[in-house]
Amino acid sequence: MDDAAAPAPEDRGRLSALLRLWPYARPYRGLIAATFAAALLATLTQLAVPLIFAAVVDGPIAEGDRAGLVPLVGLALLFGIAEAAFFFVRRWAMNRSCLQIERDLRDALYQRLQRLPVAFHDRWASGQLLSRATSDMSTVRRFVGFAAVFLVVNLITCVIVAVLLLVTYWPLGLAVLLTTVPLTVLGQRWERRYNVQSRRVQDEQGELATEVEESVQGIRVVKSLGRGRLVFDRYDAKARRLRRLELDKVRTLALLWCVFELHPQVTLALILVGGALAVGSGALTIGGLVAFVALFTVLLWPILSLGFLFAFAQETASACDRIGELLDEPLTVTDRPGVTPQTVGSPARLAFEGVGFTHPGSSTPILSGVHLTLEPGETLALVGATGSGKTTLSSLVARLQDVSAGRVTLDGIDVRDLPLAQLRGIVATAFEEATLFSMSVRENLTLGRPDTTDADLDEAVRVAQAEFVHDLPWGLDTRIGEQGLSLSGGQRQRLALARAVLGRPSVLVLDDPLSALDVHTEALVERALRDVLVGTTALVVAHRPSTVLLADRVALLAGGRIAAVGTHSELLASEPTYRDLLAQESDLLETLS
């Protein structure tokens, strides 16, 4: 992950980060209130039982009144039933609210990832995004569904029990309260340490996820080069680092648990000694001592759990920070305020007017002062050396990136003045690296366009010379697996091309879509493409010089500027740079001679 994407350690995991959850919790505040109320009432019913025991010891037992036991036992039973009912309500309301909050937060995060610009995804490791959308989201769900409730309820319980202890016998109650002072100081100190450690673990989990993902996606390269040991060693180094960080976190948590476990035992011994002396002096009754001890035992779980709950709150705060980094990432490619759909011809006139582009954070422009016009129905090939900016220029048409200067227009309309949904319905793109999804061939081709007819599909398959799909086990309904890796590179590229030409878009951008095809198939695809390109304005990025044969005109891009525009013959005769580029493809020169 880019260093700029991670906050400084001292800014991580602050509990204030939990406030990020409130907008997602607000719609379910009724269920949340019911959860807290039921949990608190269940705790209060527990506190009533020690008081009933005190009444039993000082009343019927001390006086030998067996009949007096019946109403007190019945009252204790009633409180037990009430506690069970409150537990049911708490769990029902808690599960409903936390699952809905998790769903809304997950939806918001996924939608944000979809809307963030391509430059963001180029900068961030996919494993980091995956860990935030899965493990961090699960951490938030567990906190909302469990820790948040008991953190508040247990704190309230501690306050109520402390008051009852003071009321029962204030000297002993005050002694109990004083023992919590060192506990609080130590807890705060270790909490800050745990805070930083939690964030380091979460970041390293993202790094490990990236390593696993990359090795799985590149398994063919790893195996073919015999680099299994190298890949494992890289993975193992990160796994060991994660283990070391986890153990650091576990040590801190163990110290917290040790102190929080030791405190009530020491305090209980103090209560028994002090209580016995108070009973012996007549300052406290036996029933009062029983009630005091019983109340303190009710306090044991809240005290023991507070260390864990505060640690979990810190871990969740770090998770909220990590998720918040994505939600706070600026959306640089968005609809302008007030934009409405506008009429664009089919085919459309495409123009680059003084276009410049510089990557964010860089001072070196990739493109500068590009002026280029494609008339409706014209096919123009964009030729240039590697790194000249061809792919960058083509990405500006569908606003995968936005210009830094100038503008790109369709029929005179700035593409930024069109809604993104409309623009990307007008402009279709086929990339050199074909990306397919884990779904059927039909779903990959239509990709959410339910209005596509079988005739449209057949034409697109024919143009891309992708008739092989009919020979798959279930034809167009065959699932092709993740990334389409069950197909060859050429087959994937033909499917991606078929997807782009489906429905004959107004503007077609082809970024060397034939690079993985054999010479025979390429010739067939080019012949079929000529029919499609007649009714479409097409910008063809020619990484392979043979692709220029599809074009009406050719533009030579050099140094981020348009160096020359003309027909292939004109440029071949007048531009040495153009001839040098074509000379790299000897088979094309034979075709042209």
pLDDT (tens place) for every residue of the chain, 593 residues total? 444 444 444 444 466 788 889 999 999 999 999 998 998 888 778 777 766 766 666 666 666 666 666 777 777 788 878 888 998 998 899 888 988 999 999 999 999 998 988 888 888 888 888 888 888 898 898 898 888 888 888 888 888 888 888 888 888 888 888 888 877 777 667 767 777 888 888 888 888 888 887 787 777 677 766 778 888 888 899 999 999 998 988 888 787 777 777 878 888 888 888 888 888 888 888 777 877 887 888 777 787 777 778 778 888 888 898 899 899 998 888 998 988 999 998 889 999 999 999 988 788 899 999 999 999 999 999 998 888 888 899 999 999 999 999 999 999 999 999 999 899 889 988 887 778 888 889 988 888 677 888 888 998 888 888 889 988 889 899 988 777 777 887 888 888 888 888 877 899 998 877 766 766 777 777 777 777 777 889 998 876 666 787 788 999 999 889 999 999 888 888 888 888 887 765 444 444 44
CATH number for 30: 1.20.1560.10
Residue indicated by tokens 């990432």: 329
What token pair was written down for 220?
């063919």
* 35, 114: one domain: yes
Grouping H, G, I as helix, E, B as strand and the rest as coil, residue 473 is: coil
Q: Which of 294, 312, 327 is the last residue of a domain?
A: 327
In a domain? residue 2: no
* 223, 286: one domain: yes
In a domain? residue 266: yes
Rounded CA separation 374/367 (Å) = 18
* 379, 315: one domain: no
In a domain? residue 7: no
* 264, 378: one domain: no
CATH number for 433: 3.40.50.300
What token pair was written down for 498?
């078929």
- Our CA dihedral for 505, 507, 509, 515, rounded to 10 degrees, sits at 50
In a domain? residue 436: yes
* 290, 375: one domain: no
**pTM as predicted:** 0.75
In a domain? residue 332: no
How many domains would you assign to the chain? Answer: 2
* 388, 250: one domain: no
In a domain? residue 391: yes
H or E segment and range at residue 354: strand 350-357
* 354, 317: one domain: no
Please enumerate, as own/partner, the contacts of 355-361 that have beta carbons within 8 Å and a separation of 24 or more. 355/393, 355/396, 355/403, 355/405, 355/406, 355/407, 355/408, 356/403, 356/404, 356/405, 356/406, 357/389, 357/392, 357/393, 357/396, 357/401, 357/403, 357/404, 357/405, 358/404, 359/119, 360/119, 360/332
In a domain? residue 581: yes
* 354, 313: one domain: no
In a domain? residue 334: no
Q: Residue 514 in contact with residue 526, Cβ under 8 Å?
A: yes
DSSP letter, residue 116: S
* 441, 575: one domain: yes
Question: What residues make up the domain containing 517?
Answer: 350-592
* 354, 323: one domain: no
Phi, psi (5° rounding) for residue 561? -130, 160
Query: Other CB atoms closer than 10 Å to residue 404's CB: what's the count?
Result: 16
Q: Residue 5 in contact with residue 321, Cβ under 8 Å?
A: no
CA triple 401-403-407, angle to 5 deg: 130
* 146, 250: one domain: yes
* 319, 364: one domain: no
Rounded CA separation 270/342 (Å) = 80
